[in-house]
Amino acid sequence: MIFQDVESARQKYLEKRHRIWRRGFIILLIAALAALVIVITNYHSNFSYLLGAGVFIAFFGLTAIAIVAALATSKDAALYRKAYKAYFVQQTLAATFTDLRYDHAAGLDRALLRATGMISTGDVYRSNDLTMAKYKDVKFIQADTHIQTESTDSDGHTTYFTIFKGRFMIFEFPKKFDHRLELIGKHFGSSARIPGKNPTTGRKMSRISTESTDFNHAFKTYGEDGFEAYYLLDPAFIERVTAISTANNNKILLGFLDNTLLIGLNNGKDSFEPPSPRHPLDEKTELQKVLSDIKLITDFVDLLRLDKNRSQRA
């Protein structure tokens, strides 16, 4: 896969879309002329009728063309998206990580996320861009995820509310954490569940405060064992976590569960996504965008020193 393949897929989409719009305008013009003849014949060139007919034809005609164009080019748009991800995302991920498995259409299993007991998976759950790999010998899995709740009023109107849109990352460690610890960012959102107990063991979890005012302001911390929590949350680690949380507007969730670290980032973004095929592609800009999305993964390993300290401290 080379950049020209992505550009070729984009051009095929544009050519088909332009062809549909040109034909649509011709049909719309013919319909408008026919309608004007009918109005003039029956209403003697009454301006109000002419204006009304013109607005009606223009609005419904353009709407119909837009719908037809979207439906007719959906396959071409999908091929462009697939080519973009194969060139920019797949190849860049492969250059950064080892043991890579990437599937842009697959996502994080809903049951796996629900089993953590930390997150509500809502009424509507979507996930994509599943990435499984290893960075500095730290195994991880991550995916974009969109979670919504459904509400129906007394008139039967259904509304969907987004409670999470962003990424979940799960980093694996060779040792188990003896006790569960959860850090909920103050702006993470309503998808987080306030823990009363460990859903796996049934052991009680209590609110924990540290000596860092900034950390206590950024997170609500819950743990089973205060001693292990203080051992894990040493000043250096607290400083790094606080910095990452601040950089992400405190919309972050961390859970130390068994031998994994679960991280949720409710930033409202969809990573690794191409721009609209209607916009020109700049290879350098798109590569930098993908590298920025990847850096979010590597930062957690690098800044939290997961490859150096976490397994020994667990």
The tens digit of pLDDT for each residue in 236-252 reads 888 888 888 888 889 99
* Rounded distance between C-alpha atoms, residue 132 and residue 142, angstroms: 7
Strand segments, DSSP code E, in 179-218 are 181-185, 206-208
pLDDT tens-digit profile of 228-286? 788 888 888 888 888 888 888 899 999 988 888 999 999 999 999 999 999 999 999 99
What is the DSSP code (8-state) at residue 272? T
Share of the chain above pLDDT 70, in %: 91
How do residues 81-114 score in pLDDT, each as one tens digit? 999 999 999 999 999 999 999 999 999 999 999 9
pLDDT for 311 beyond 50: no
Q: How far apart are the first and last CA of the chain?
A: 42
Residue-wise pLDDT tens digits, 167-212: 999 998 766 777 889 999 999 988 998 888 888 788 888 998 888 8
Closest CA to 234 of 309, 311, 136, 137: 309
Phi, psi of 191 (to 5 degrees): -75, -20
The domain ranges of the chain are 3-72, 99-313
pLDDT band per the 50, 70, 90 thresholds, residue 43: low
